[in-house]
Amino acid sequence: KNKYETTNNNLFSDPKMNRFRNGRLFFPYQHSIADSILEAFGRKGINTADYFEFLRDSYDLPDGLTSPLPEYDFIIVGAGSAGSVLASRLSENKNITVLLLEAGKPETLLTDVPALAPYFQATDYTWQYYMEPQHGVCMGMTNERCFWPRGKAVGGTSVINYMIYTRGRPQEWDRIAADGNYGWSYNDVLHYYKKSEKADLDGYEMNHSRNRNGVLPVQFVPKRTKLIKAFLEAGAILGHPTIDYNSPDQLGFGYVQVTTEGGHRASAAKVFLHKQKKRRNLHILPETIVTKVLIDPYNKTAYGVEFSRNGRLYTVSARKEVILSAGPIASPQLLMLSGVGPKDHLNSKDIHVIEDLPVGKTLYDHICFPGTIFTLNVTNVSIHESTAITLTSIFSWLRNGDNELSTPGAVEGIGYIKTPISNDPEPIPDIELISIGGSLVADGGPSGSKAVRRGMRIRKQVFDQAFGSIDDTDTWSAFPMLLHPKSVGYIELKDKNPFNYPKMVGNYLTDPTDIATFVAAIRYIQKIAATEPFQKFGARIYPADYLPCRSFEFDSDAYWECAIRMLTATLHHQIATCRMGPAGDPQAVVDPELRVYGIGRLRVVDSSIIPRTVSIHTNAPAMMIGEKAADMIKATWSI
């Protein structure tokens, strides 16, 4: 019995949430953008229950095959951001056979719409993971649990993410290389960022760090509010130049750069698999869950995988390598299920230990605080879902891709700052500010989808009490994201059933420096809002009322700490669970060429290998890792 299905079904036992239950993809919200789009298609006379399949991409096996071959050169587990790139690059050589196994389904036209990003966290395009309960964080979320969605689709998390494109600071990658990870300096990784990139960034395309001739579109969001202008002007007043924030040469503020093309999402699947699926040597198998890597315990060499498809178990062999690209939760889980992990932990789960490695022992994440909201004394300045989304705008997006539907969750700008709490001697920021052309209240009102707050799993009662009186009004907010948390989490197995989720421990905010950095960032956001560009809109910090925080004076440090603990929101950048490190590094799972220590013919190629915190959103880095791994694998096998 596939227990994932059981979990998901239970989550949506509310009949209101089952509106499209008979469709393969369903939306739990009423009167939402999605509903409008669905209605739009409905009016074309297409049956609602069927049109998700009609809109869905497909990946049929070539040559009329109905099942995969018994053996391939390479087997890649997970068609996510990294796995899609890797499969595409390895199969460029027609003599090499590649099998790409993916638990999720192919994407649909709806996943193309950037403004719908928050909706997909409630669909079967998402692994519905939750962090283990932790006292004093996510206090305002459902069951006081932090929600950790991950993409379950051909294209992986790049199908449900917010499309923000970032690369990290040069000094951060240079530190990773200086730890002994040869080949991972900034110049090394820049080569692979550029290899993918097709930059269309007005004014910046010719920068030496950009490339206009790759395949991965990187663009500015075509639709902007006046608030992003205010953010950039305020930044300049406070000494932050307006720049290409991915530039290695300067630190500053800039317009958000996103992986979209003509206002449509450019997922890893769309860019790296869609055209490549005609290749006869690349076999892609969606809706297939890998349950184990097959490892010969005597010579400690991987020789294939076991997988479940349509309720049956199969095995398939790899002539050259098995590569795990299942992401930062499932890659360590699969290693441990296969006998590679901490010895005592595997023994406690009755799993035969093949190699004792610190799998899952380190986990960093980027959390943010979405509650620094400023009211404005003007109207129609910020984004309102209720007025922005009309049938006309839907058709206009389909035709031109240049209206509000092309805006990923109203994210408009990014700014890097270094708070006084940081003691880093290098020009490395400790906070990223994400400027929003609105705030958490933008999708409210009687007909609003409330998708963002629901995506974060903020309890209705908590939200209404905190922000109810400003719901759907004009606001500005900046989310501070903690770039280098000192608190460290971990992942373990709950049991040896591959269909059960592992135990995910975030340990958020357990180091006092993390709270101090957040509070310093909120003070800085208040400074930004106090500048003339924001004061001309009458920006005022909104005194959100959280029941557990009432004993603290509004705007005191203690109040903000309490507020952060109420609305602790991940930005979904879990890393380091299959940490990369040089030989002899006691925390390393893979070597700098991403080979699993002690096991032959097995690599991990995804965001789980990133060993240290970096100032990144992890999608572009995962694709970069896929590009770099492809070259390393080609070098190993002289292909």
Ligand X SMILES: Cc1cc2nc3c(=O)[nH]c(=O)nc-3n(C[C@H](O)[C@H](O)[C@H](O)COP(=O)(O)OP(=O)(O)OC[C@H]3O[C@@H](n4cnc5c(N)ncnc54)[C@H](O)[C@@H]3O)c2cc1C
Query: Active-site positions?
Result: 573
Please say which residue, 82 or 462, places its beta carbon nearer to ligand X: 82
Shortest CB 27 distance to ligand X, Å: 16
For the CB of residue 87, give the shortest distance to ligand X in the complex, in Å: 11
**CA distances from residue 468 to 140, 184, 292, 372, 545 in whole angstroms, order as listed:** 14, 48, 48, 15, 10
CB of 104 to ligand X, least distance (A): 4
Nearer to ligand X, 11 or 49 (CB): 11
Residue type (1 letter), 172 = E
Residue numbers of the site for ligand X (CB under 6 A)? 77-83, 101-104, 121, 149-153, 156-158, 160-164, 289-290, 325-327, 330, 334, 572-573, 606-607, 617-620, 622
The span from the CA of 232 to the CA of 254, in Å, is 7
List CB contacts of 352: < 8 A, sequence separation 6 or more. Answer: 297, 339, 346
- Return the residue nearest ligand X (CB atom): 80
| 404 vs 474 by CB, closer to ligand X | 404
Q: Which is nearer to ligand X, 220 or 546 (CB)?
A: 220
Q: Report the residue number, 146 or 326, with the smaller CB distance to ligand X.
A: 326
Judged by beta carbon, residue 91 or residue 259, the one nearer ligand X is: 259
Cβ proximity to ligand X, 102 vs 627, nearer residue: 102
Question: What's the min distance (Å) between Cβ of 133 and ligand X?
Answer: 20
- In angstroms, what is the minimal distance from the CB of 457 to ligand X? 12
Residue 209 CB coordination number (10 Å): 18
**DSSP letters of 361-373?**
S-BB--EE-TT-E
Q: Which residue has the tokens 């283990």?
A: 132
- C-alpha 322 chain-centroid distance: 24
Q: How far is the CB of 485 from ligand X (least distance, A)?
A: 16
CB of 92 to ligand X, least distance (A): 19
Which CB sits closer to ligand X, 77 or 346? 77
Beta bridge partners of 105: 153
Place of tokens 């951060």: 172
CB of 400 vs ligand X, minimal distance in Å? 23
**Is the CA virtual torsion 277, 279, 282, 283 positive or negative?**
positive
Query: Which tokens hold the place of 609?
Result: 């290998």
CB of 376 to ligand X, least distance (A): 25
Between 253 and 272, name the residue whose CB sits nearer to ligand X. 272
Partners of 288 in the β-ladder:
309
Give the separation between CA 506 and CA 119, rounded to whole angstroms: 24
Pairwise CA distance, residues 465 & 88, whole Å: 49
CA distance 374 to 439: 8
Q: Would you tell me how many other CB atoms lie within 10 Å of the CB of residue 306?
A: 17
Nearer to ligand X, 99 or 243 (CB): 99
User: What are 481's strand-pairing partners?
Assistant: 368, 432
What value, to the nearest 5°, has the Cα angle with vertex 278 and ends 277 and 279? 90
Residues 207/244, Cβ–Cβ less than 8 Å: yes
Instruction: For residue 348, count CB atoms less than 10 angstroms from its CB and return exposed for 0-12, middle for 13-18, buried for 19 or more.
Output: exposed
CB of 272 to ligand X, least distance (A): 11
Residues whose CB falls within 8 Å of the CB of residue 243, separated by 6 or more in sequence, listed in order? 250, 252, 253, 254
Contact 436, 408 (CB under 8 A): no
> CB count, 10 Å around CB of 601?
23
Non-local (6+) Cβ contacts of 224 within 8 A are: 255, 412, 437
Which token pair is 474?
Answer: 């004009």
* Unique residue bearing structure tokens 């550029």: 194
Do 549 and 543 meet the contact criterion of CB atoms below 8 Å apart? Answer: no
Coil, strand, or helix at residue 511?
coil
End-to-end C-alpha distance for the chain, whole angstroms: 41
Question: For 333-466, where are the E strands, in sequence order?
Answer: 340-341, 355-356, 367-368, 373-375, 411-417, 431-436
CA 269 to chain centre: 15
199 versus 544: smaller Cβ distance to ligand X:
199
| Separation CA 173–CA 171 (nearest Å) | 6
CA–CA separation, 332 and 598 (whole Å): 15
Say how many residues make up the chain: 639
As measured in angstroms, the least distance from the Cβ of 456 to ligand X is 10
